Amino acid sequence: MLISIITTSKEPASVPPQILDRMLACGEIHAFERSSGWAVVGRDPIRAPRNPYNGLERRRFVSFRLPSLSS
């Protein structure tokens, strides 16, 4: 899926989501299209880059053992 963007040099383009994140971080995008309409960088809220979680793992871990197939 490609996302429509307008670069800071006002050129229209389409990029995959991974490239959008990189371009946003580098300040190369003026606006991009969301399902709700165009988001302008610096005017509309844009989610912050995600940092990896370094805390204690709290999700349940289920461990099970498969029976051996060898006799």
pLDDT tens sequence across 9-60: 999 999 999 899 899 989 999 999 999 999 999 999 987 666 777 777 777 7
Residues 6+ apart with CB under 8 A from 55: none
Q: Where in the chain are the domains?
A: 3-39
Contact assessment for residue 15 and residue 28, using Cβ atoms and an 8 Å cutoff: no
User: What's the pTM value of the predicted model, to 2 decimals?
Assistant: 0.65
Tell me the one-letter amino acid at 55. Answer: G
